[in-house]
Amino acid sequence: MKLSSRIRAIPSPAGNAWAIYERAHVLKAQGVDVTMLTIGDHDHVTPEPIIAEMARSARGGHTGYAALPGTAELRRAIAARAGEGVGPQNVFVTPGGQFALFCALIAMLDPGDRAAIVDPYYATYPLTVRSAGGEAVIARADPERGFQPDLADLADKLQGARALLINSPNNPTGAVYSRETMEGIASLCRAHDVWLISDEVYDTQVWEGEHLSPRTLPGMAERTVVIGSVSKSHVMTGFRLGWMVAPEEMVRAIWELGVSTTYGVPGFVQDAALYALEYGAQIEAEVTALYRRRRDLAVEALRGANGLRLSAPQGAMYVMLDIRATGLSGVAFAERLLEEHHIAVMPGEGFGEAAAGHLRVSLTLEDDRLVEALQVLAAFAGELARG
Amino acid sequence: MKLSSRIRAIPSPAGNAWAIYERAHVLKAQGVDVTMLTIGDHDHVTPEPIIAEMARSARGGHTGYAALPGTAELRRAIAARAGEGVGPQNVFVTPGGQFALFCALIAMLDPGDRAAIVDPYYATYPLTVRSAGGEAVIARADPERGFQPDLADLADKLQGARALLINSPNNPTGAVYSRETMEGIASLCRAHDVWLISDEVYDTQVWEGEHLSPRTLPGMAERTVVIGSVSKSHVMTGFRLGWMVAPEEMVRAIWELGVSTTYGVPGFVQDAALYALEYGAQIEAEVTALYRRRRDLAVEALRGANGLRLSAPQGAMYVMLDIRATGLSGVAFAERLLEEHHIAVMPGEGFGEAAAGHLRVSLTLEDDRLVEALQVLAAFAGELARG
């Protein structure tokens, strides 16, 4: 039986870049002690008070269909967190931030419409645009600009596009878009009359500079959808709870999409997230402090290393290493690092062309082992560069 | 800002039919003691052992990203339940059965392709087809045929269609498709070379006849996607855990759709569902017995009533009442029943034209109160018919 053309057009994320992640799992299954610095998942369990609240909610009877756009209490808490001018009517709760992104794209694009994304991008962005029936056009944010997007290039790519998707703090690069960048982006969105999707799931992980949501800039609230989540801020990746903050008209339209697809998010998961947002300030602060410390340790461990160049990440839970001096691609380096040193990292090529010759290293390992792995990686890069 | 044409084309489910559900909630919020016999949600909490397993799993660390197509254990358990010739590679776990349906439609239809559905239908089917970018064509299953589809009409509607979606045991009608019906459907699917989606989420609620999955018929496994769920069988509606059983090639293709949309189902929810499937036989039996008893009580309570006609439901957790003898539409009857007697039921019109002049009553109330409500409803129908 023939599958649809569109499902066949959603390819694997960047082919052999992700093959390394799979290969690492194969080695682990064979008993090899692989150090995993690949995906952005915490190396610790969700804090107990959040799990306890989930169990309490379920036992209390919140096991039937929950309010589809999100419970009134959770929508209020998210609105309060989102800042001025945002009310519960602007909030739609989804099973994970990425589903909010998918819904927003469905609401913005008709089949074949274009959405611009910025390279390097979160690996699944092109897939999500294609899954939503759109065509992704790629703007560049080169390492030479500190991974800030090139606004002239972006203006070009926005010709005829319906939407632009950005992500600051950025996965994989760690860039935090400057006020100048954000104002430039906002200006382009207004000039080209495009929707802006601002993926801000790392907004609690800012190490340098300041997180600025473009929604707050003049004339942007009515054309901006902000994607948020408790995944990174409260160690809740596996809960699959995210949201969008959007114009009320879009929330109403997406309601019907929710009715006809996932039919909401478990009530006990929503209650756990509500607890995290209302009483989890200390948890959030501890999680943020943990990644800040690891980021500082990583910067220190890699300072002065030969064969690689680190731009200190301004945000998020990764470091991006430029290993072009070794003469290897990111894929080739990562393959050898895995086979020879049993350390798994993500090749930059998995995140677009602008990240070629780079590695993304997740800070998802306890301090000592993280530093040790980075030192091995740096020594290996040094050898290759000298070689 | 302009929303996409396609999101604007997903309308509210059957307009004023669902307005009654909303009106009932408004009355409740005003303090009126409304008897809710509307949606198919259990009136009791998920059994404690399932909740305990969820909490155990989360505390045990299953709070990170879970295996996307489903955990190996859960896929195995679902495959075993699905019967002969089904392996884990045929199973894809989704946030709710309806999302499996949505994914299957994306994998079958290109934009504008047609999918046939059978009227009366589960209220959101037309929305789900449209959300997936398809066009729904409507075949009929009239009350005069016991809500079994008219195969001649269906053959006509399958001309040029890519897929057919059926649901037996049926929501809202309670029909269980006979072997003759199923073999006829299978034959039409083969003749017209269309995919079949068989929504079998009520497969544990069969009161008369026998549940026959069309997947087991000759030549059907390669063109059938079966939708399943623990929602109805194990009182887990709010957990949002469903699945599809499908040809392996479709599962592989849908994997990428999962990567780029919901990114799986919480690991602790999957573990709770695994527990339900592996150790929940008694829970399942009790739930089934509960709805069987209520169904029998409802049939008894409505026997010989004037003004309405009940075809004893063969399956599922509803009764469909033909109230055409009262001269009122389902909507008008339901509106008056709500305002005058504070009993909320769903008008048949919410489920398609073939269900016009009917009411769907959910068996989601404890025995005595259910019988009492049905007696009030029957007396009201009797008055109207005499009136």
Q: Is it the case that residue B15 has pLDDT exceeding 80?
A: no
The ranges of chain A with pLDDT < 70 are 12-16
Q: In chain B, whose CA is at the least distance from the CA of A44?
A: B61
pLDDT (0 to 100) of residue A387: 80
Instruction: Judge: B7–A247 Cβ closer than 8 Å, yes or no.
Output: no
Q: Which residue has the tokens 């509606």?
A: B237
Pair B188, B317 in one domain: no
Q: Which of A64, A127, A265 sits opposite B259 (nearest CB)?
A: A127
Do B124 and B263 lie in one domain? The reply is yes
Choose the closest CB to B51 out of A55, A64, A262: A55
Of the pLDDT bands very low, low, confident and very high (cuts 50, 70, 90), residue B19 is confident
Indicate if A149 and A230 belong to the same structural domain: yes
Residue A56 in domain: no
Interval B102-117: pLDDT, tens? 999 999 999 999 999 9
The Cα of A165 is separated from the nearest Cα of chain B by a number of Å equal to 14
Per-residue pLDDT tens digits for B84-101: 999 999 999 999 999 999
Are B186 and B300 in a shared domain? no
Residue spans of beta strands (DSSP E) within B307-382: 309-310, 318-322, 343-347, 358-362
Report H helices in chain A: 5-8, 16-29, 48-59, 72-82, 97-108, 125-131, 151-157, 179-192, 248-259, 267-279, 281-302, 330-341, 367-386
Are B27 and B76 in the same domain? no
- Please judge whether B262 and A240 are an interchain contact, meaning their C-beta atoms are less than 8 angstroms apart: yes
The pLDDT, as a whole number, for residue B18 is: 77
**How far A200 CA lies from chain B's nearest CA (Å)?**
17
Residues of chain A in contact with residue B113, where contact means CB-CB under 8 angstroms, are 4
Domain total for chain B? 2
Instruction: Give the integer Cα–Cα distance in Å for B234 and B277.
Output: 9
B-chain residues near A111 (CB < 8 A): 6, 111, 133
Give B319-358 pLDDT, tens digit per residue. 999 999 999 999 999 999 999 999 999 999 999 999 999 9
Beta strands in chain B (DSSP E): 35-37, 91-94, 114-119, 135-140, 163-167, 195-199, 224-229, 242-245, 309-310, 318-322, 343-347, 358-362
Over residues B199-250, the pLDDT tens digits come to 999 999 999 999 999 999 999 999 999 999 999 999 999 999 999 999 999 9
Tell me the average pLDDT across B166-195. Answer: 98
Q: How many residues does chain B have?
A: 387
pLDDT higher than 90, residue B16: no
Contact B240 A12 (CB under 8 A): no
Which of B279, B310, B345 lies at the terminal end of a domain, its last residue?
B279
Q: Is residue B183 part of a domain?
A: yes
Q: Does A15 touch chain B (CB under 8 A)?
A: no
Residue B11: predicted pLDDT: 77
Joined tokens for residue A324: 């072009």
All residues of chain A having their beta carbon less than 8 Å from the beta carbon of residue B69 are none
Question: Distance (Å) from the C-alpha of residue B340 to the closest C-alpha of chain A?
Answer: 27
Q: How many CB atoms lie within 10 A of CB B156?
A: 12
Q: Is A51's Cβ below 8 Å from some Cβ in B?
A: yes
Q: Are residue A211 and residue A248 in the same domain, yes or no?
A: yes
pLDDT digits (tens, 9 = 90+) for B131-153: 999 999 999 999 999 999 999 99
B257:A6 CB<8 A: no
- Contact yes or no for B131 and A235 at CB 8 A: no
Residue B345 covered by a domain:
yes
The closest CB to that of A249, out of B3, B42, B266, belongs to B3
Residues A165 and A313 in one domain: no
- Report how far residue A235's alpha carbon sits from residue A45's, in angstroms, rounded to the nearest whole number: 7
- Enclosing domain of residue B217: 64-279
The answer to whether A252 contacts chain B (CB < 8 Å) is no
Mutant choice from A165, A240, A317 vs B, greatest count of B C-beta within 10 A: A240
Shared domain for B100 and B119, answered yes or no, is yes
Q: Is residue B58 part of a domain?
A: no
Long-range CB contacts (within 8 A, 24+) of A327-335: A327/A384, A327/A385, A328/A357, A328/A384, A329/A356, A329/A357, A330/A17, A330/A355, A330/A356, A330/A357, A330/A358, A330/A359, A331/A16, A331/A17, A331/A20, A333/A359, A333/A381, A333/A384, A334/A20, A334/A359, A335/A20, A335/A23
With an 8 Å Cβ cutoff, is B375 touching chain A? no
- B59 part of a folded domain: no
B367: CATH: 3.90.1150.10
Interface of A with B in 84-143 (CB under 8 A): 95-96, 98-99, 102, 106-111, 113, 124, 127-128, 130-131, 133
Instruction: Tell me, yes or no, whether B151 lies in a domain.
Output: yes
What residues of B are in contact with residue A238 (Cβ under 8 Å)? 62-66, 266-268
**Same structural domain, A224 and A370:** no
Q: Which of A11, A102, A253 sits opposite B261 (nearest CB)?
A: A102
Q: How far apart are CA A73 and CA A82, in angstroms?
A: 14
Contact check, Cβ <8 Å, B195/A1: yes
Q: How far is A106 from chain B (nearest CA, A)?
A: 7
Q: Is residue B130 situated within a structural domain?
A: yes
Residues B289, B210 share a domain: no
Last residue in a domain, options A280, A304, A333: A280
Kindly tell me the burial class for residue A22, based on how many C-beta atoms sit within 10 Å of its own C-beta (0-12, 13-18, 19 or more): exposed
Q: Are residues A340 and A197 in the same domain?
A: no
To which H or E segment does residue A225 belong? strand A224-229
Dihedral over Cα of A107, A113, A119, A121: its sign? positive
Q: How far is A266 from chain B (nearest CA, A)?
A: 5
- Do A344 and A309 lie in one domain? The reply is yes
pLDDT for position B12: 61
The CATH number for A128's domain is: 3.40.640.10
What distance lies between CA B87 and its chain's CA centroid?
A: 25
**Any idea which residue has 């004893």 for tokens?**
B312
B227 found inside a domain: yes
Contact residues, chain B, for A256 at CB < 8 Å: 7, 10-12, 127, 131
**pLDDT averaged over chain B?**
96
- Strand bridging mode B358-362 / B318-322: antiparallel
Give A99's contacts in chain B (Cβ within 8 Å): 261-263
Listed residues B252, B279, B306: the one ending a domain: B279
